[in-house]
């Protein structure tokens, strides 16, 4: 075994060094010529370098099927960081960062197809001092995940020790239903231990999502109200104004339930609903999320239609531009019934939430891009103002006073709004809702890091708090698989598909769905 080389600290980074600096390591990105690498991964790693959170000798090995020299890879990545990165490219920082960029071509089908990767890792250990510490990123199609895992295991690239680590990062989709997710977990465990597997969901890397934990558990004024006694219901909305963006083949197989609900929305619901944890250790946090998901009331397939609404967008206008319907998109079947919109009602059977429903929705080609969590509190049990308010229609009934709302905005305008009632100035007793707002940008006067920056750094540090554990994935699939089974048994009527126009808030059935419970959707 070749002894590791101890590199001199880079003076460009030393003054920026933070406490969260991982041990020297190498990140191997399989699928390095793909969009994820260009748009997210390398720009995120460059931002970490610019902020001084990468160790001396840090190395990136891009592994792809496309032939490319190291210099071509560096030049391409510099252009992509300049185009997609959060921070502008600084020549000195880039020069130091680019010294650690390598590129190799691999062949997954061949038994020795990972030999170029092995040689590049050995060279990084010898010349860069990466000490056999490895993060292996699977930026590959889901169909190639198990084969790549098998090849890494056969090549001995899965090994770690007391003095070194090997971790693998796997992107969604993680299975297509409960059974395939379980099978994928079982298969991966033939090659990697569970503590080596980091299932990434970029939503959990967002600052505003992490702030949910702080908001709930670092403030004494909200947690006592965070239960069925005071909260009427919860709404979680993930709305997108864009369409499927040349992902027709993928969306025909996935749909909105698999693409957004099973991962992003289930994770948000778990954080909103989980019990307080005794500490902020990874397993403690993930234990509480799993407990919440296990408390979700099962939906029998026969009840799927009464608990959900599905939709598909037709052509329409978004941001002043005419856009095609889903069936007109590339690689989409002309008579496709695949859903691009889902709304659903979830009941949680535990002491905290019994009787307080969670309403979840997501959709493509809606009015705007917005992800938010709305907490609607119960109305006052009795209004003393009903008979004394001077209003044109006479006394104001108690339900005319708007309920208090707490809105947690995840994106794009990250912040928190609290809505409460106040008296309108004047002689009459008039009541109106007003907002108290907190905005990240104006409060901290600094740019939030991108989600992949936080998640990649956490993986290098071995902090799995913001990554999904195998039982989290399976519990989320338990609910979604029952819905998929119900939908399969009761396909939508061709005559009513598509059922909402692009540039609207979804199908009218979704509003009727809420109206049955005497509630309405909040408009972000």
Alpha carbon separation from 244 to 252, 259, 339 (Å, rounded): 10, 11, 11
Domain that holds residue 506: 205-515
- Tens of pLDDT along 360-405? 999 999 999 999 999 999 988 877 776 444 344 444 454 567 899 9
Residue 264 falls in the annotated catalytic set: yes
48 within a domain of the structure (yes/no): no
Q: How many Å apart are CA 248 and CA 243, to the nearest integer?
A: 10
> How confident is residue 14, by pLDDT bands cut at 50, 70 and 90?
very low
User: Taking the complete model, does pTM exceed 0.85, yes or no?
Assistant: yes
Instruction: State the Cα angle at 213 between 260 and 367, rounded to 5°.
Output: 35
199 within a domain of the structure (yes/no): no
Cis peptide bond upstream of 498, omega within 30: yes
Q: Are 520 and 366 in contact (CB under 8 A)?
A: no
Q: 356-377 as b/e, with b when 16 or more CB fall inside 10 Å? A: bbbbbbbbbbbbeebbbbbbbb
Mean of pLDDT values over 290-317 = 94
- Tens of pLDDT along 121-144? 999 999 999 999 999 999 998 889
Write out the E strands in 351-509. 358-363, 370-377, 405-411, 415-424, 430-439, 500-501
**Of 7-11, 220-224, 371-375, which one has max mean pLDDT?**
371-375
Percent of the chain with pLDDT over 90: 77
User: Which among 141, 173, 89 has a CA at the least distance from the CA of 473?
Assistant: 173
Task: Give the pLDDT confidence score for residue 378 in this predicted structure.
Answer: 93
Mean of pLDDT values over 156-163 = 91
Q: Are 149 and 189 in contact (CB under 8 A)?
A: no
Task: Give the pLDDT confidence score for residue 169 in this predicted structure.
Answer: 97
> How confident is residue 48, by pLDDT bands cut at 50, 70 and 90?
very high
Q: How many Å apart are CA 81 and CA 97, to the nearest integer?
A: 12
Q: Residues 62, 63, 64, 67: is their CA dihedral positive or negative?
A: positive
Helices 70-84 + 42-50 axis angle, to 10: 80
Residue 105 confidence (pLDDT) above 70? yes
485 within a domain of the structure (yes/no): yes
Query: Looking at the 3D structure of the chain, how many domains does it have?
Result: 1
Residue 3 confidence (pLDDT) above 50? no
Residue 311 confidence (pLDDT) above 90? yes
Q: Are strands 405-411 and 313-314 parallel, antiparallel or unpaired?
A: unpaired
- Tens of pLDDT along 171-211? 988 999 999 999 999 999 999 999 999 999 998 998 888 88
312 within a domain of the structure (yes/no): yes
Residue 152 confidence (pLDDT) above 60? yes
Residue 1 confidence (pLDDT) above 70? no
CATH number at residue 229: 3.30.360.10
375 within a domain of the structure (yes/no): yes
Q: What is the mean pLDDT of the chain?
A: 90
CA 488 vs. chain centroid, Å, equals: 26
Higher pLDDT, 446 or 94: 94
Mean of pLDDT values over 344-358 = 97
Task: Give the pLDDT confidence score for residue 25 in this predicted structure.
Answer: 96
- Tens of pLDDT along 254-276? 999 999 999 999 999 999 999 99
DSSP type of residue 303? G
Residue 410 confidence (pLDDT) above 80? yes
109 within a domain of the structure (yes/no): no
Which residues touch 338 (CB under 8 Å, ≥6 apart)?
Answer: 251, 252, 255, 312, 326, 332
Task: Give the pLDDT confidence score for residue 516 in this predicted structure.
Answer: 95
Q: Are 254 and 326 in contact (CB under 8 A)?
A: no
346 within a domain of the structure (yes/no): yes
Per the residue annotation, which of 264, 307, 382, 522 is the catalytic one?
A: 264
154 within a domain of the structure (yes/no): no
């Amino acid at each position: 075994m070749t002894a590791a080389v101890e590199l001199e600290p880079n003076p460009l980074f030393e003054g920026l060094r933070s406490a969260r600096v991982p041990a020297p390591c190498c990140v191997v990105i399989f699928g390095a010529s793909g969009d994820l690498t260009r748009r997210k991964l390398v720009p995120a790693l460059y931002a970490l370098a610019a902020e001084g959170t990468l160790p001396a000798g840090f190395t990136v090995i891009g592994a792809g099927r496309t032939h490319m020299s190291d210099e071509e890879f560096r030049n391409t990545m510099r252009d992509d960081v300049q185009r997609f990165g959060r921070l502008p490219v600084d020549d000195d920082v880039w020069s130091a960062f680019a010294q650690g960029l390598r590129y190799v071509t691999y062949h997954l089908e061949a038994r020795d197809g990972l030999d170029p990767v092995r040689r590049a890792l050995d060279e990084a250990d010898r010349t860069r001092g990466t000490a056999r510490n490895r993060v292996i990123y699977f930026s590959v199609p889901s169909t190639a995940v198990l084969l790549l895992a098998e090849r890494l295991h056969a090549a001995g690239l899965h090994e770690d020790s007391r003095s070194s680590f090997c971790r693998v990062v796997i992107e969604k989709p993680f299975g297509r239903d409960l059974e395939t997710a379980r099978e994928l977990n079982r298969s991966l465990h033939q090659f990697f231990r569970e503590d080596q597997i980091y299932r990434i969901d970029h939503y959990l890397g967002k600052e505003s999502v992490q702030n949910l934990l702080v908001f709930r558990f670092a403030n004494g004024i909200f947690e006592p109200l965070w239960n069925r006694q005071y909260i009427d219901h919860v709404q979680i909305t993930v709305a997108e104004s864009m369409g499927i963006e040349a992902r027709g083949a993928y969306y025909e197989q996935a749909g909105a339930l698999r693409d957004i609900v099973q991962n992003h929305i289930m994770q948000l619901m778990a954080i909103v609903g989980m019990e307080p944890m005794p500490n902020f250790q990874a397993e403690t946090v993930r234990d509480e999320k799993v407990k919440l998901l296990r408390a979700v009331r099962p939906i029998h397939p026969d009840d799927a239609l009464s608990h959900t609404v599905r939709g598909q967008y037709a052509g329409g206008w978004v941001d002043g531009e005419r856009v095609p319907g889903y069936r007109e998109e590339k690689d989409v079947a002309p008579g496709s019934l695949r859903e691009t919109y889902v709304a659903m009602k979830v009941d949680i059977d535990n002491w905290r939430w019994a009787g307080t429903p969670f309403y979840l929705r997501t959709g493509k080609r809606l009015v705007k891009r917005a992800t938010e969590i709305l907490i609607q509190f119960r109305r006052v049990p009795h209004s003393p103002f009903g008979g004394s308010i001077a209003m044109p229609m006479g006394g104001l009934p108690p339900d005319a006073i708007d309920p208090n709302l707490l809105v947690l905005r995840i994106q794009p305008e990250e912040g928190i709004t609290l809505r409460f009632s106040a008296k309108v100035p004047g002689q009459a007793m008039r009541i109106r809702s007003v907002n108290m707002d907190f905005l990240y940008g104006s409060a901290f006067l600094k740019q939030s890091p991108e989600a992949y920056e936080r998640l990649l750094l956490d993986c290098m540090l071995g902090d799995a708090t913001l990554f999904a554990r195998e039982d989290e994935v399976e519990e989320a699939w338990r609910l979604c698989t029952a819905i998929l089974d119900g939908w399969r048994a009761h396909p939508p009527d061709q005559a009513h598909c598509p059922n909402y126009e692009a540039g609207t808030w979804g199908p009218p059935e979704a509003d009727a769905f809420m109206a049955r419970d005497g509630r309405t959707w909040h408009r972000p």
